[in-house]
């Protein structure tokens, strides 16, 4: 067996996927070829290091994994709820938030200097009339500050 | 049932118990696989907290999908499929935009003589060698997710190619090529390390 063929088969050899005859041929080659033997050793080392690395990661998390059942059980219970109940529980804040928002808008303290404009009748005067086609301003003088309620400019409102 | 089977019932018995409403049976299944599941999830998603969430979600999902389990097949292959999909989804959502470059200084291996290196033999030795441990973490994270998954399932979990193909819903040939690529990359990374 030459090196090219041996290298093609090293992975299968490591993973125990070669038939006995091929495995024996690869072993014989590795026994006689230092370069290919080193290649196989390095590839095997990848597996060794990954197993150690994974064991370290799991070991470092051991304490946190101990109460995992509590969390899994909670997840199971949550999904046991009927769909409607789960939806209501998950989204109940939407109507509540909407109600709170509407109430807040209704009772929002208004600026004393700017009374909300809810006229029942208009006391309108023509304030400005510059020309037949230019600007017309209708102004509600009311009790407070005068308010422009309509502007006609060049025939367009 | 033998004493041994009572003490350590087969997975299928625990699945049957779970389906019959025995919560303890499902808990036993979870206890049996949670560490291994975490090891796989940790390798795929990278972050320890994310990995734990993935494991938790995968077990919750498994509980509700147990009725789909086909008796006669391996529970862990079935469960790993849920777990791996969950982990890859999580990884894509949280890390998709992050590309971790494979450190070429590790893969060159030009200045290192492999025979001069002493590699750790136990998890404790690896934990003490922070440079190597962190280097491995980075090297694993730098692999494409499916290559990372394949090599973890093969080398850490010891799954056969055919089992990995079932977990990932791909061909055995795809498993072989991904494994070949991942091993070559990690081999290159390891060559960059020397003793100490």
- Select from A82, A101, A129 the last residue of a domain: A82
Contact residues for A138 (Cβ-Cβ < 8 A; gap 6+): A124, A125, A126, A127, A148, A149, A150, A151
Cα torsion angle, B103, A60, B54, B29, sign: positive
Q: Are residues A21 and A78 in the same domain?
A: yes
In the predicted structure, residue B2 carries a pLDDT above the cut 70: no
pLDDT at B155: 94
Give the model's confidence band at B97: pLDDT under 50 very low, under 70 low, under 90 confident, else very high.
very low
Is residue A29 included in any domain, yes or no? yes
A49 touches chain B (CB under 8 A): yes
B190 touches chain A (CB under 8 A): yes
**Residue with more model confidence, A147 or B70:** B70
- The DSSP bridge partners found for residue A153 are A135, A156
Is residue A111 included in any domain, yes or no? no
Report the C-alpha gap between A22 and B165 in whole angstroms: 24
Summarised one tens digit per residue, pLDDT across range A80-119 is: 766 666 666 667 778 788 888 888 887 776 655 555 556 5
A17/B187 Cβ within 8 A: no
Angle between helices A20-32 and A3-14 (to 10 degrees): 120
- Select from A82, A110, A139 the last residue of a domain: A82
Q: Are residues A68 and A137 in the same domain?
A: no
Summarised one tens digit per residue, pLDDT across range B103-161 is: 544 433 344 454 556 788 888 888 888 888 888 898 998 899 889 999 999 999 999 99
Is residue A97 included in any domain, yes or no? no
pLDDT at A129: 53
- Select from A61, A82, A103 the last residue of a domain: A82
Closest chain A residue by Cα to residue B61? A76
Contact residues for B3 (Cβ-Cβ < 8 A; gap 6+): none
pLDDT at B171: 95
Is residue A15 included in any domain, yes or no? yes
Strands A147-153 and A124-129: unpaired
Is residue A150 included in any domain, yes or no? yes
Domain span at residue A38 reads 3-82
Is residue A136 included in any domain, yes or no? yes
B176/A75 Cβ within 8 A: no
Is residue A128 included in any domain, yes or no? yes
B63/A72 Cβ within 8 A: yes
Domain count, chain A: 2
Measured between alpha carbons, how far is residue B102 from residues A77, B93, B105, B109, B141 in Å? Answer: 43, 21, 9, 14, 9
Report the range of poorest mean pLDDT among A51-65, A95-109, B46-60, B130-144. A95-109
CA distance A65 to chain B (A): 8
Give all domains of chain B, ordered by start, each with its CATH number.
1-97 (1.10.1740.10), 99-196 (1.10.10.10)
Is residue A28 included in any domain, yes or no? yes
- Model-wide pTM > 0.90: no
Mean pLDDT of B13-23: 92
In the predicted structure, residue B168 carries a pLDDT above the cut 70: yes
pLDDT at B105: 42
Q: Which residues of A17-48 are buried (b: 16+ CB within 10 A; e: fewer)?
A: ebeeeeeebbeebbeebeebbebbebbbbbbe
CA distance A88 to chain B (A): 21
Report the range of poorest mean pLDDT among A14-18, A140-144, B52-56, B89-93. A140-144
Report the C-alpha gap between B169 and B187 in whole angstroms: 26
Q: How many C-beta atoms surround the C-beta of residue B129 within 10 A?
A: 20
CA distance B146 to chain A (A): 16
Q: Give chain A positions within 8 Å (CB) of B34.
A: 65, 68
Give me the residues of A, 72-131, that contact B with CB < 8 A: 72-73, 75-76, 79
In the predicted structure, residue A15 carries a pLDDT above the cut 60: yes
């Amino acid at each position: 067996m030459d090196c090219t063929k041996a290298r093609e088969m090293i992975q299968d050899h490591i993973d125990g996927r070669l038939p006995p005859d091929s495995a024996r041929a690869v072993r014989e080659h590795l026994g006689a070829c230092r370069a290919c033997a080193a290649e196989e050793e390095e590839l095997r080392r990848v597996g060794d290091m990954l197993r150690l690395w994974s064991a370290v990661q799991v070991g470092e998390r051991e304490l946190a994994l101990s109460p995992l059942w509590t969390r899994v059980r909670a997840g199971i219970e949550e999904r046991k709820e009927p769909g409607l109940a789960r939806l209501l529980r998950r989204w109940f804040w939407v109507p509540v938030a909407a109600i709170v928002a509407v109430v807040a808008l209704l009772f929002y303290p208004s600026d004393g200097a700017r009374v909300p404009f809810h006229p029942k009748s208009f006391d309108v005067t023509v304030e400005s009339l510059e020309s037949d086609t230019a600007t017309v301003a209708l102004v509600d003088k009311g009790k407070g500050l005068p308010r422009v309620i309509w502007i006609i400019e060049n025939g367009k409102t | 049932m033998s004493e041994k089977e009572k003490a350590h019932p087969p997975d299928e018995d625990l699945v049957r118990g779970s389906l019959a409403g025995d919560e303890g049976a499902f808990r036993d299944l979870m206890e049996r696989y949670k560490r291994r599941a975490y090891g796989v999830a940790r390798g795929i998603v990278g972050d320890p907290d994310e990995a734990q969430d993935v494991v938790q979600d995968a077990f919750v999902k498994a509980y509700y999908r147990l009725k789909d389990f086909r008796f006669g097949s391996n529970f862990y292959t079935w469960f790993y499929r849920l777990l791996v999909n969950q982990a890859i989804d999580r990884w894509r959502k949280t890390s998709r935009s992050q590309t971790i470059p494979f450190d070429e200084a590790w893969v060159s291996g030009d200045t290192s003589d492999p025979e001069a290196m002493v590699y750790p033999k136990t998890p404790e030795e690896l934990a003490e060698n922070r440079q190597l441990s962190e280097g491995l973490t980075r090297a694993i994270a730098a692999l494409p997710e499916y290559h990372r998954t394949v090599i973890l399932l093969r080398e850490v979990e010891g799954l056969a190619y055919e089992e990995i193909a079932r977990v990932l819903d791909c061909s055995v040939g795809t498993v072989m090529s991904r494994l070949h690529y991942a091993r070559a990359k990690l081999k290159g990374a390891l060559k960059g390390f020397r003793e100490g």
